[in-house]
Structure 1
Amino acid sequence: MASKTTLNEKNLEALGAERLAALLMEISAGNANAKRRLRMELAGVESPDKLVHEIRKRLTSIGNATTNIGWRSLKAFKADLDSQRRLIVDQVVKASPGDALDLLWQFIFFSASVLERASDKSGDVFAIFQQACEDLEAIATAVRPDVPGLIEKVAFAVLINSYGQNDALIPILAPLLGPEGLREVRTRLLASGKAVETRPAAGTRRMSRWRRGRVQQREALRRSRSQIIHQALLEIADALGDVDAYITLQPDIRLPEVAADVAERLLQAGRAEEALVVLDKAKGERPVAWQTQRLTALEALNRGEEAQVFRLKVFHDSLNREFLKAYLKRLPDFDDIEAEEAAMDFVLTYPDVHAALNFLIAWPALDHAAKLVMARSADIRGRGDDIVPVATEKLAARYPLAAILLLRRMLDANLANYRDIDLVRAAEHFDEARRLAARVEDYSGFESQESYITELRIQHSRKHDFWTLVN
């Protein structure tokens, strides 16, 4: 049972209205956001129209402001901004969905100007505007606004989408716009693209180096009008299911990432043959997305044998576990066991020993992982690769010698970089190897742990802090 002093609604109700009112006055003293929220709550009690008026007034104030929002004031500003959004979607919408929709559009319309002014390194302000776009879906669906008005608002919101904060609007509102509405938005955007883009003239006021850097970072994230319109046209093409329009908008369909993107849409449209042609014309390194779409295209064309060959090739090229699993799953009984063993043997010879070790530990094939360590321990880095300590832990129980060899690699690397050494970690590696050595009878040609420690003491005799710890 919760204590009566635990802060929750039920316990606070016990204080009574009079005491709570006094506490709120005391707590809100000197806190502009808290006072503003209380005033709006009181306005809502008086009448829904009064609350709408107060929110609209506050949103107008935020939208008209021009001063920068620095890190000192950012926390309070974020709280205020999200408070306005929550008042709209939690309270106004219950009494007047139409007013809630209008207020939410007003909120979205000043998103670009706020992001221009805010030092939003954490992305919290950006996330508030993204959430407002998501909130719009349910409210707009309930209100069912007239399509011409919706077209106008969507087109405007897209054109101020300088930072991608409104990217979700077209997918969200596409059902309400309908095909004709989407085409009209596209027409308006294309017309806007022909107009000369203007930006405010750069100020002449001198800026600190830090401030100049912040402005440059923000400008680097800012999209040009052509970029904004291009992104919106892609979203409209997707919403219309117009694959050909989507393809036309691509700068270079031969780029593997672009080819995979296009192929996915062609496959959804039942155009697998075209998808495969697009994929096979791609130039450059093929990412997993490209590989996945090519495999999907082959399966859609009932080219199962070719798909199997491709799965195995991808595995050989990149040690992709999912492709190997899919390959083995499609083999007849018993053939899969033989093929899996052959695959594990292949991994032992893979050029990147760390990728190979990672694969074998994750599969898992610990017996092969131990073989890999025994055969190629000299190639394994003791620092800078997370798989080595993980592999050491996994192998320690059944393959102590392999674990010892990995511990030696980590210990050698630490002692060789003594200025950056984590002494406690190095001592732990030393002690763990010494503990595991008690279980090793045959070192299979490797140096015994006793001999290794003797050499270590000679080679690193001056590293007194380390030896004090391990002794």
Structure 2
Amino acid sequence: MAIDRLLRFIATHERVFERIDDSYGHVQDVYHQAIAELGQLTPKLEEEIGLLPERIVEALGDSSHGYLVDVAHEVVDHQPKEVLRKWDADLAVLQQEQEAKDAKSKDRYVFSNASQYRDIRQLIAHVLGDLDGLIALEEKKHPNLQDTIGMAEHLLEAGRAQEAFGWVRREKTGGLKYVSASDLADGMMPQEATSSERVSLEARILEAIGEKDAAQTLRWSAFETSLNAGTLREYIAALPDFEEFSALDRAFALVLASKHIYRALAFLVEWPRLDLAAKLVIERRNEWDGGQYYMLPPVADALQHDHPLAAVVLYRALLNDILSRTRSKAYPHAARYLKKLDALAASSDAEATTVSGICSHTYYSAGLQKSHGRKSGFWALVKRN
């Protein structure tokens, strides 16, 4: 009875979402909580367990928000195998009927639940250990919708490395793209969201089929292109004993020489090698764009204690950008950066004596007064702080 009530509640989501703006996801969270509660109740069913799949499809079979699959995720592990096999057969019929109906439709954007039926059938195949059935369903998807990484992972775990290699190498177009803050700052194009995951998996598959050198070549090549810290860690972990030191030296030299300075800086902070991050900041001191305010402040904060001069270079870049563009809404940040510069003055000035081209704090402050003395809003905040 409790499960019936939860299903009835979950089924209201489409009508509710048509009438509200849930931009923050608060209402959606309530439905997710109900789905989780349903999953917790399922193991308590006894003779009624065989009725659950039919009740779920009856309540949510026409859902367009994916909650049918979400509910299936919660309950499928608790179903007896005979119930799962019957559910799969019933869903196969529903899927076939829906696909036949879709084929006759002239509406280009018609809603279809066939994909949800197929997704649940794949969940069932996974629970039943039917890897061939899982893959057969995946093969029927459009190539751009196939989970090539997931299929390769399943095959590798099953010891079918050659087949896994074929899946991980399948090319896809479209799909989710991703661009990090550092790549955006470097003007890089968005890349496949799973690119690093794909490289990692492909390298493991190569090792499984005895191509260890090819796996390492792939990892290093991917690192040269991406400067991804996780990829380098996997490369280092696969090296023979005592070879990691020379490999790290080579990697850090590559990073410091990279033309993608923001990607290089992000790598050195993540590794972490703050000493090399400071070196990069100082060596490329005239290239930092203070408009990259979503990336540079946390780096400057991380450097300020042990590498004050590098922090000063970044704080100055941020401050200069705000004042030169007269970004009055950012004046509170600018005042905070100047306060940071005041606090770092003694230590950064001492370090600056060994580096040419970086003026003292006194000289820099005088330049601010000369160039931006009329920005009264900024200077009022400075006095207040």
TM-score clears 0.5: yes
**Where does 1:225-374 land on structure 2 (aligned, <5 Å)?**
225-240=113-128, 241=130, 242-252=133-143, 258-283=147-172, 285-286=191-192, 287-374=195-282
Q: Using a 3 Å threshold, how does the CA distance of structure 1 residues 423 and 124 change in structure 2: closer, same or farther?
A: closer
Q: Using a 3 Å threshold, how does the CA distance of structure 1 residues 459 and 226 change in structure 2: closer, same or farther?
A: same
Aligned 8 A contact 2:196 2:231 in 1: no
Distance in 1 between residues matched to 2:234 and 2:111, nearest whole Å: 41
Aligned 8 A contact 1:299 1:307 in 2: yes
How far off its partner does 1:108 sit? 4.0
Task: For 1:150, give the aligned amino acid.
Answer: L
Q: Using a 3 Å threshold, how does the CA distance of structure 1 residues 119 and 427 change in structure 2: closer, same or farther?
A: closer
Question: Partner residue of 1:404?
Answer: 312
Identify which of 444, 454, 468 aligns with 2:355.
444
Aligned 8 A contact 1:357 1:387 in 2: no
Question: Partner residue of 1:176?
Answer: 79
Q: Which has the higher contact order (CA 8 A, sep 6+)?
A: 2
- Matched position secondary structure for 2:171: coil
Aligned 8 A contact 1:308 1:327 in 2: yes
Aligned 8 A contact 1:171 1:239 in 2: no
Aligned 8 A contact 1:404 1:436 in 2: yes
How far off its partner does 1:279 sit? 1.9
Task: For 2:38, give the aligned amino acid.
Answer: L
Q: Using a 3 Å threshold, how does the CA distance of structure 1 residues 427 and 106 change in structure 2: closer, same or farther?
A: closer
Question: Partner residue of 1:55?
Answer: none
Q: Using a 3 Å threshold, how does the CA distance of structure 1 residues 148 and 188 change in structure 2: closer, same or farther?
A: farther
- Matched position secondary structure for 1:438: helix
Give per-residue Cα distances to partners, 1:347-377, cap 9 Å, x unaligned: 1122321121121122121221111111212
Give per-residue Cα distances to partners, 1:174-195, cap 9 Å, x unaligned: 3425242232232332244157
Percent sequence identity over aligned pairs: 28
Q: Using a 3 Å threshold, how does the CA distance of structure 1 residues 435 and 168 change in structure 2: closer, same or farther?
A: closer
Aligned 8 A contact 1:193 1:229 in 2: no
Distance in 1 between residues matched to 2:111 and 2:122, nearest whole Å: 15
Question: Partner residue of 2:187?
Answer: none
Question: Partner residue of 1:462?
Answer: 374
Distance in 1 between residues matched to 2:267 and 2:15, nearest whole Å: 48
Question: Partner residue of 1:129?
Answer: 31
Give per-residue Cα distances to partners, 1:128-168, cap 9 Å, x unaligned: 33333333334333223456633422332441322122323
Q: Using a 3 Å threshold, how does the CA distance of structure 1 residues 192 and 348 change in structure 2: closer, same or farther?
A: same
How far off its partner does 1:230 sit? 4.2
Aligned 8 A contact 1:348 1:356 in 2: yes
Identify which of 87, 103, 106 aligns with 2:5.
103
TM-score, normalization by structure 1: 0.65
Q: Using a 3 Å threshold, how does the CA distance of structure 1 residues 117 and 184 change in structure 2: closer, same or farther?
A: farther
Question: Partner residue of 2:58?
Answer: 156
Aligned 8 A contact 1:273 1:301 in 2: yes
> How large is the Cα RMSD of the aligned pairs?
3.0
Give per-residue Cα distances to partners, 1:41-86, cap 9 Å, x unaligned: xxxxxxxxxxxxxxxxxxxxxxxxxxxxxxxxxxxxxxxxxxxxxx
How far off its partner does 1:233 sit? 4.1
Aligned 8 A contact 1:321 1:359 in 2: yes
Task: For 1:437, give the aligned amino acid.
Answer: A
Following TM superposition, where does structure 1 have runs of at least 4 consecutive aligned residues deviating by more than 6 angstroms? none
Question: Could you say which structure has the larger radius of gyration?
Answer: 1
1:379 aligns with 2:287: yes
Higher deviation after alignment, 176-185 or 406-415: 176-185
Aligned 8 A contact 1:137 1:172 in 2: yes
Q: Using a 3 Å threshold, how does the CA distance of structure 1 residues 130 and 185 change in structure 2: closer, same or farther?
A: farther
Aligned 8 A contact 2:118 2:137 in 1: no
Q: Using a 3 Å threshold, how does the CA distance of structure 1 residues 469 and 134 change in structure 2: closer, same or farther?
A: closer
**Where does 1:133-152 land on structure 2 (aligned, <5 Å)?**
133-146=35-48, 149-152=51-54
Distance in 1 between residues matched to 2:357 and 2:136, nearest whole Å: 64
Give per-residue Cα distances to partners, 1:409-450, cap 9 Å, x unaligned: 111111112133533332332233244232223151114223
How far off its partner does 1:320 sit? 1.5
Distance in 2 between residues matched to 1:445 and 1:126, nearest whole Å: 57
Give per-residue Cα distances to partners, 1:375-411, cap 9 Å, x unaligned: 2122212133433122222222332222221121111
How far off its partner does 1:336 sit? 1.4
Distance in 1 between residues matched to 2:26 and 2:309, nearest whole Å: 50
- Matched position secondary structure for 1:378: coil
Distance in 2 between residues matched to 1:360 and 1:225, nearest whole Å: 47
1:167 aligns with 2:75: no
Distance in 2 between residues matched to 1:351 and 1:105, nearest whole Å: 56
Distance in 1 between residues matched to 2:335 and 2:32, nearest whole Å: 49
Distance in 1 between residues matched to 2:27 and 2:312, nearest whole Å: 50
- Matched position secondary structure for 1:422: helix
Aligned 8 A contact 2:135 2:151 in 1: no
- Matched position secondary structure for 1:266: helix
Which consecutive unaligned segments of at least 5 residues does structure 2 have? 103-108, 174-190
Task: For 2:91, give the aligned amino acid.
Answer: R
TM-score, normalization by structure 2: 0.78
Q: Using a 3 Å threshold, how does the CA distance of structure 1 residues 294 and 451 change in structure 2: closer, same or farther?
A: same
